Amino acid sequence: MSQFDVVGIGLNATDTLIIVPHFPSYAGKGPFTQEILSPGGQVASAMVTCAKLGLRTKYIGTVGDDERGRIQLESLQGSGIDLTHVQQRKGCPNQSAYIVIDQSTGERTVFWQRPDCLRLDPSEIEDSMITGARLLHIDGHDTPAMEKAARIARQHGIPVTVDVDTIYQGFERVLPHVDYLISSSEFPTQWTHETDPFKALAKIQDEFGIRCAAMTLGAHGALARIDGKFHYSPAFVVNCVDTTGAGDVFHGGFCYGVLAGWEIGRILDFSNAMAALNCTAIGARGGIASLDKGMALMARADRRVRDDIQRRI
């Protein structure tokens, strides 16, 4: 029996949420109603989601030794995640983000910074950290370390999911070891220079032999290609308070669905449901739902279908 269901390697961040009635126009000004310090970060929040869903979860990463690092560690410890291989870097501030949330729409604008002293080196990744897992989830930062981790997983028959939102130097060495690519809507066209997102997604998948290539579409759901066929899952309609962390929670839900052995349509629906529920509360992890609540939302028919995507499936 595996020691962990899922191991995640990648980013965490501590966010300063600034809530405004309306986002001002360029070079404008306006009041804010709240300022909240809140833990987040791509892989860390995905792992918190996995733990909330009942998976045996481990997180590998680095945190600073400042107040923001302490907040992040306390949040992860409270989630029941194994933190054996989390490094607290002395004299190093944690990754931080300033996130402006427009109360009228729930949409957020992010400004982030990650000090170089948080970089994870490939020499710090050992086989034993990964081989006890049923699934490995990574992001695109610290690319050489991610390449090593994905290579180890592939050698031991462990599926790899990856969350990527932009172009990283050397990422072409990670992709051959990835089973499930779940990118932002911009990444496939940026990577391939192919303006048609369907063709871009197919091009990446075929070039690197990826089992499933998918992209999140924000308020319009998610699109995936597997076995030569596209699958579209529309987003669920909820009272959106804050979109911060929705993609991270989507990835956590996706990991759960893969480990549950679901078919891709059900995985996308569940991931969309988890992401939508997280948007009903403030913060990257403010609305992470239980399995029962995610499944209950899936049973609803109130969804936001994009007809131009639906027609091409």
SS3 175: helix
Single pTM value for the model:
0.95
Domain 4-12+41-94+117-310 falls under CATH 3.40.1190.20? yes
Q: Can you give the pLDDT at residue 308?
A: 81
Q: Can you give the pLDDT at residue 96?
A: 97
Which residues have CB under 8 Å from 128's CB, separation 6+?
A: none
Contact 219, 236 (CB under 8 A): no
Choose among 104, 113, 111, 112: nearest CA to 24: 104
Domain coordinates of the chain in residue numbers? 4-12+41-94+117-310
Cα dihedral across residues 256, 258, 260, 266: positive or negative = positive
Alpha carbons within 13 angstroms on the beta-carbon side of residue 173 total 13
- Regions of the chain where pLDDT drops below 70: none
CA distances, 25 to each of 31, 109, 207 (Å): 13, 13, 42
Q: Can you give the pLDDT at residue 300?
A: 81
Contact 17, 99 (CB under 8 A): yes
Token digits of residue 243: 């979109």
Alpha carbons within 13 angstroms on the beta-carbon side of residue 82 total 17
User: How many other C-beta atoms can be found within 10 angstroms of the C-beta atom of residue 292?
Assistant: 8
In terms of C-beta density within 10 A (0-12 exposed, 13-18 middle, 19 or more buried), how is residue 15 classed?
buried
